[in-house]
Structure 1
Amino acid sequence: MIKAGVAGATGYTGIELVQLLHRHPHVEIGWITSASSAGKRLCDVHAVPWEYPLIALEEAYARAGEVDVVFLCLPHGQSIEPARRFAARGLCVIDLSADFRLGHPEAYRRWYGMEHPAPELLPQFVYGLCEVNRAQLRKARLIAVPGCYPTTVNLGLYPLAKAGWLEERVIVDSKSGVSGAGRTLKTPYLFVEANENMTPYNIGYRHRHIAEMEMVLNAASPNGGYRFTFSPHLLPVNRGILSTMYVRVPVGVTEAQVRDLYEETYAGEPFIHLLPAGQQASLRHTVHTNRCAISITPELPDDPTCRDLIIVATEDNLIKGASGQAVQCMNLALGFPETAGLL
């Protein structure tokens, strides 16, 4: 049995993580923090039965020796100093923000518009896409949990990229539940604004998550150099992401070969759900689970020479897109069964 600390436990990913850890057979919660609610109990902030006291991050530093692993569920830009301090204490650090996902300071500067305050730590973090980086995650001490959008896109396209069957142009249309924006009070996320509405944002080649798509798929491919058009949308549901990807495969590659490729690539993967021909991945396949559902559809189903495919991948943005994947990473890093606490 190990003990875990959660920094930032009252946001959507934080409370989801606490619930996952609470039922994990090999984990006890040592402490949890909240910047805005320190001094209260968790049950004072969320409708849960647990009376875990909420402490300030400074107190967590002093109590670092009480835990074995720390999850950072902090806003982007605020994980760097906690990661540095907890790593210096020898703890396993699993960061759910974007602060350590990109392995090079130049990439961070390009997409986040600032110099990374801890460039020496970047190469020490393992990118926590478990189905792709499982070997590196075993016994890893510093882990960066992937973004929610890139998890669907990378898992949806990884087999094609690895086989060299993904041509340069990639168009991605993604839709996310409102919880993907975090527990923030901003006008676009108010009920009246989001309900019965759907809004695109950062469309084209603008969204920072493109960097993770390029990083994973270019590294996997013998060809690389993919060109993304990414159109994310705010969907009027609480949770879930659905990404529709429009791709082209080389001449002579058939739908049957693509299906065989995906089945071979993801054989035995406990959290990948490949749908049979004729079925489409939907949010209901994955919400409240750690699964990623993937469907494959040729654009012209009656034309065996059609090279254009529509790949759909879905997930729960708070679980497989964040806290569930973080637990999956922890399981690999600390030697627990990969599915522990997630089924």
Structure 2
Amino acid sequence: MERMRRLRQSKAIRDMVEETRVNKKDLIYPIFVAEGENIKTPVDSMPGIYQYSIDNLDPILKEINDSKISGLLIFGVPKHKDEVGSSAYDDNGITQNAIRYIKSKYPNMIVVADVCLCEYTSHGHCGVVDGDEILNDATLPLLCKMSVSLAKAGADIIAPSDMMDGRVEAIRDSLDHNGFINTPIMAYSAKFASAYYSPFRDAADSCPHFGDRKSYQMNVANGREALREILADDYEGADMLMVKPALAFLDIIAKAKEYTNKPIVTYNVSGEYSMVKAAAQNGWIDEKKIVMENMIGMKRAGADIIITYHALDVAKWLDEEE
């Protein structure tokens, strides 16, 4: 008889043969920076998450830096919104100014800049709108302008999340043409039209004012199509490929890992975070155990990098185990 339990008899042996581990450098923490002053506004649907104005960023930046995670993903919340999201590519926009501030304080902190128009448009969609249609090709030049503006501000990585066709190639060409040959693209490649995003839309003030995003984000039922999206972004020059959300799409992460040798990123999104937080606050689950099991699940599926609102807690828990 083969006795599998021999390697489970003590914690020391279990630790020695453990196949999957989470490292602090695997983690990226999302932050929301709002235009204005003296802002630290709690996101009611995301316990522990806030919108910060630039003048209130220092404590959270210090916490991120001290945690030794890899860095942050930044989302801007502007005061001005219009039909074409002009604040997104304004060199003096909230996100650009926040990036400059962060890099002045922590030049070695990785800043990933989300590229999408939804936080900046008056209609809340991710591209240029004509009637009820979101125009793919008319949106691409604006995404390129936004990407170059964010790179000029000091963003280390450009992360297009809009799901317009051809945007990776267009952004890559624009970055290269403007001297940002070495700026990587982290593409939201398989981004599903998921119900798990609802709390994020509270945080980023980006809920669409009509319709939904199913004409450009992916059908949650389609796995083969997700691989086509991933391979298309790979071909167009993305340096890292993302699957979003994470927990309901672990099969897509695993397949992506088989299909490409590029780093695989997953985004443990707002709804996934908020469900855990709500259950923990009600005493229904052990938050630490559940979160760490979720992290292991994402890593085991094949994720190299995890964007998660739990990042700072996970870093603390990992320190406690050392």
Global fold match (TM > 0.5): no
Judging by fraction of residues, say which structure has more helix: 2
- TM-score in terms of structure 1 length: 0.28
- TM-score in terms of structure 2 length: 0.30
